[in-house]
């Protein structure tokens, strides 16, 4: 379940149900969509997952929610830019795979950070490449060496949303485009960037919803963990 589909009823008097079977079915535990949830509801899920040794994560958590939750959840950390609250189950575990999160301008940073936190929670190694939008076309090539061996790249861009096409043209791995609502006027709250990415002339570009940093990171993380393991070996075994 996408954190955008809250499962846990947060309205007063309603009980909380955690989908503890999630890791078996989907490979990763359930994520909490924090927007509109009560502090009690979020804390309950974190505690139940903690008891089972699962890492917990909630997206779109406001600073006010975080301020109330952090004292209740020992070991939890909050990234205000990404609006993500997390608690690691095995903090020191090694990273697998490699994903780059590439963003066009500094206003795209919150969505890029949401992707980065998601990947970190999945245990995937992440490289961040900021501020390489197409209007400064010399910037991206200078930094390609940092991520040309990535298993997947998340590209976050608003306004004209052209960056995924350019990144896709340089690399062979899958590129997950995340359009953002950064812009004004004929941007129409991200529609311009969304259409650009859907019409990308690069064959390796796919797209998620506007401002969907979590989903962009999640899909890239799935690709990277599978690439890291080598499923062919697993399937034959």
CB of residue 132 to a copy of itself, shortest distance in Å: 11
> What's the angle, vertex CA 72, arms to CA 71 and CA 74, rounded to 5?
80
Shorter beta-carbon distance to a copy of itself: residue 84 or 140: 140
Shorter beta-carbon distance to a copy of itself: residue 46 or 59: 59
Shorter beta-carbon distance to a copy of itself: residue 74 or 94: 94
Shorter beta-carbon distance to a copy of itself: residue 74 or 158: 158
Cα–Cα distance for residue pair 3/17, rounded to 1 Å? 14
CB of residue 120 to a copy of itself, shortest distance in Å: 16
CB of residue 125 to a copy of itself, shortest distance in Å: 10
Cα–Cα distance for residue pair 58/65, rounded to 1 Å? 11
CB of residue 119 to a copy of itself, shortest distance in Å: 13
Cα–Cα distance for residue pair 65/161, rounded to 1 Å? 32
Shorter beta-carbon distance to a copy of itself: residue 91 or 185: 185
Shorter beta-carbon distance to a copy of itself: residue 101 or 207: 207
CB of residue 232 to a copy of itself, shortest distance in Å: 4
Interacting residues of 85 by C-beta distance below 8 A, sequence separation 6+: 34, 42, 57, 58, 61, 65, 66, 69, 70, 73, 76, 77, 78
CB of residue 42 to a copy of itself, shortest distance in Å: 13
Interacting residues of 133 by C-beta distance below 8 A, sequence separation 6+: 104, 105, 139, 157, 159, 163
């Amino acid at each position: 379940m996408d954190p955008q589909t809250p499962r846990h009823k947060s309205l007063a008097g309603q009980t909380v149900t955690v989908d503890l079977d999630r890791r078996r079915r989907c490979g990763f535990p359930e994520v909490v969509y924090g927007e509109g949830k009560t502090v009690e509801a979020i804390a309950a899920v974190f505690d139940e997952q903690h008891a089972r040794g699962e890492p917990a994560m909630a997206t779109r958590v406001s600073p006010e929610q975080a301020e109330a939750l952090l004292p209740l959840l020992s070991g939890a950390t909050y990234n205000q830019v990404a609006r993500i609250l997390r608690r690691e189950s095995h903090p020191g575990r090694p990273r697998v795979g490699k994903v780059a999160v590439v963003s066009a301008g500094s206003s795209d940073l919150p969505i890029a950070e949401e992707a980065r936190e998601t990947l970190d929670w999945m245990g995937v190694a992440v490289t961040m490449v900021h501020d390489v939008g197409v209007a400064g076309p010399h910037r991206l090539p200078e930094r390609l060496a940092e991520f040309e061996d990535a298993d997947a790249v998340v590209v976050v861009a608003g306004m004209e949303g052209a960056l995924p096409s350019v990144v896709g043209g340089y690399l062979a791995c899958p590129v997950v485009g995340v359009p953002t609502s950064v812009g004004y006027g004929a941007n129409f709250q991200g529609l311009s960037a969304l259409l650009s990415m859907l019409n990308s002339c690069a064959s390796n570009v796919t797209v998620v919803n506007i401002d969907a940093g979590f989903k962009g990171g999640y899909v890239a993380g799935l690709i990277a963990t599978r690439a890291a393991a080598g499923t062919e070996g697993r399937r034959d075994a």
